[in-house]
Amino acid sequence: MMIPALHLAWRYVARHRLQTCLLAGALAIVLALPLCLRVLVQATETAMRGRATSTPLVLGTRGSALDLMLSALYFKRQPLPSMEMKHLQELRSTGLGRAIPLDVRFQAQGAPIIGTEMEYLDFRGLRLASGRMMTRLGDCVLGARLASRRGLGPGDHLFSSQEQVFDMAGVYPLKMRITGVLAPGGTPDDDAVFADLKTVWLIAGLAHGHDDVASGKDTVLQQEQGNTVANASVKMYQEVTDRNLDSFHFHGDVGGYPVSAAIVVPGDVKSEALLAGRYLKEDLPVQLIRPREEFEALMGTLFQVQNLALVVLVVTLGAALAITVLVFALSFRLRRREFDTLADLGVAPADLVRTKAFEVAIVGGGGLAAALVLTGLVRWQAQEWIRLVLS
């Protein structure tokens, strides 16, 4: 009968809990690995695809197109040199599309500082949840997740991170005023700090503010032809305020200032084709890429790696199942006297076979259930883990 066989199998499994848990756990791990791998790949594709397909073109320094895409779309710091602002100005002068600059070189205690223009916030559909937008040099707005994680809001301040411990150029961390917090969007924008391009150039040391040199007798070294040369005692400002705002000034030609990349939004299909042809020349220092194409290439590589990993995992699963069969075979062989005693007590041979089958089914079912639970947990946290990797 089925019930006595199931009862005997359950009593044995319950009596040897450690052995049962070890076997079920081993099966759960080898079963869950390919499932979890698939879940993570799907989560990665979902998290990255929308941002790549919604960005028509990206302009940046010639080099790795993948690095350029990761830098411009996901704010990942890549070993790419910056391009000069003049290349962006040249693209704008063609009238073929809009160009939104991005400077992603700096961070604020691990959070990327994005130097851009207000047009970027409109392009990404970012809206304020509290406060107001930047109104002057030194202002910034925070992504929703970053503001929540650090407990910051309008009226607070945030320091940029010093890029080098010993900065001989004298570029110090900038104390930025937080004017607003953006509404959550579920994208890398939620973990970023957004500031005006000039504010990022100020962090880079391309601008500075200091005491009035001409009015300080102790700070002047030399005066000639209308120029004043000051000594090292001049106080450089690390924060922009209403009182010292007018003292900040930039040096050199803005066309030579650096930006990491630019999002390009062509006016129409014809304009996109003209722009693509314009930047095909290999001798140009910049390149124009389509993020959607680079994303598909990245996912193709990722799927190849996934397939290779799945083959390895299937082989591992086969080995694990073979070992499990061996363990059960040895266990049943060692319990031969136990089964002989049950037979002497009147248990039919068919019921003994069913008992063994139920024991295998209980262990296998437990392993499968645990694998599904593990996969569910990974699916539940997958988006958060992918966000942490991309942020």
Q: So where are the chain's domains? A: 2-47+299-390, 57-206+251-289
Q: What pLDDT, on a 0 to 100 scale, did the predictor assign at position 165?
A: 52
Q: What pLDDT, on a 0 to 100 scale, did the predictor assign at position 1?
A: 46
318-322, long-range: CB < 8 A, 24+ apart: 320/26, 320/27, 320/30, 321/27
| Helix residue ranges per DSSP H, the chain | 2-15, 17-53, 65-74, 85-93, 118-123, 144-150, 197-203, 269-278, 291-334, 336-344, 349-390
Mean pLDDT of successive 10-residue segments in the chain (391 residues)?
70 80 85 85 81 92 90 86 92 92 92 94 94 91 94 93 58 86 91 94 79 49 48 62 81 87 93 89 88 87 79 80 81 80 77 82 87 90 74 61
Torsion angles phi and psi, residue 248, rounded to 5 = -80, 135
